[in-house]
A and B are shown apart, each in its own frame.
Chain A
Amino acid sequence: TQLLEQSPQFLSIQEGENLTVYCNSSSVFSSLQWYRQEPGEGPVLLVTVVTGGEVKKLKRLTFQFGDARKDSSLHITAAQPGDTGLYLCAGAPSGGSQGNLIFGKGTKLSVKP
């Protein structure tokens, strides 16, 4: 069974601080997606990374896909209260037929003003 482990599970920081969220697995994924979810709503796609070693930047958010395509990280610079939410990583199994996504349990981020 393929699993994605996210860490930390909870993160509470002050506005302006930097943070990194990790997503790790022993399995290879053909792609990995990061989502942000507000309470009671569906996940909203932030980015998809496909190539091992790939780095994508979205304003203050930097996403990296590990060289071996088994892990990923999300780094937020100068966090703002609007960044508060549940961050989920989801992997598409390698060799699969573009079917199910495997999700981590998420990192609940709280940014205090």
Chain B
Amino acid sequence: DAGVTQSPTHLIKTRGQQVTLRCSPKSGHDTVSWYQQALGQGPQFIFQYYEEEERQRGNFPDRFSGHQFPNYSSELNVNALLLGDSALYLCASSFLDWKTTDTQYFGPGTRLTVL
């Protein structure tokens, strides 16, 4: 049973460029959440996708956008990159069951460096 997978593993971009990160959820999961983890910090929630729509959003600017596909995989897009966008970007998947707790399983992350 494959867990959450993310690609690419590492990425180097320059300021002003755009980047797309990809995530495939754990088998059986239908919900994907994206988090940003700066060095020495805990992950910060960016947004969550369910049924191909953005369901919840954290305190991130519109430069951060996403998409979920019919097979539940997801993309995170960041436009007009800033130096401060350098971080580990984590994808987490879960199964949205209103009766149970929201346990999320994380992928290995994509390390983005903005120069």
Contact digits for B24-51, partner A, Cβ 8 Å, 1 yes 0 no: 0000000001010000111111001000
- Chain A count of residues within 8 A CB distance of the other chain: 27
Contact A100–B48 (Cβ < 8 Å): yes
- Residues from chain A with Cβ under 8 Å of B55 in the complex: 97, 99
Contact of B56 among A41, A88, A100, A105 (CB under 8 A): A100
Report yes or no: B88 in contact with A98, Cβ–Cβ below 8 A: no
Q: Which stretch (B12-20, B61-69, B100-108) binds chain A?
A: B100-108
Q: A31-B101, A101-B102 are in contact. Are A43 and B43 (CB under 8 A)?
A: yes
Smallest CB gap from B59: residue in A: A1
Set of chain B residues within 8 Å of A33, measured between Cβ atoms: 103-104
Task: Say yes or no: B102 contacts A92, CB within 8 Å.
Answer: yes
Question: Is A113 among interface residues, defined by CB-CB distance under 8 A?
Answer: no
Which A residues touch B6, using CB under 8 A? 42
How far apart sit A57 and B10, CA to CA, in the bound complex (Å)? 36
Report how far A70 CA is from B42 CA in the complex, Å: 18
* Cβ-based interface call for B76 (8 A): no
B115 at the binding interface (Cβ < 8 Å): no
Interface size on B, residues (CB 8 A): 30
Residues of chain A in range 25-47 having any CB-CB distance to chain B below 8 Å? 30-31, 33, 35, 40-45
Are B111 and A42 in touch, CB under 8 angstroms? no
Residues of A within 8 A of B4 (CB): 42
**A100-B109 contact, Cβ under 8 Å, with A45-B103, A48-B101:** no
Residues of A within 8 A of B102 (CB): 31, 92, 98-99, 101
CA distance A102 to B92 in the complex (A): 13
| Chain B residues at the A interface, C-beta cutoff of 8 Å | 4, 6, 33, 35, 40-45, 48, 55-56, 58, 88, 90, 92, 94, 96, 98, 101-109, 111
Residues of A within 8 A of B (CB): 4, 6, 30-31, 33, 35, 40-45, 48, 50, 88, 90, 92, 97-106
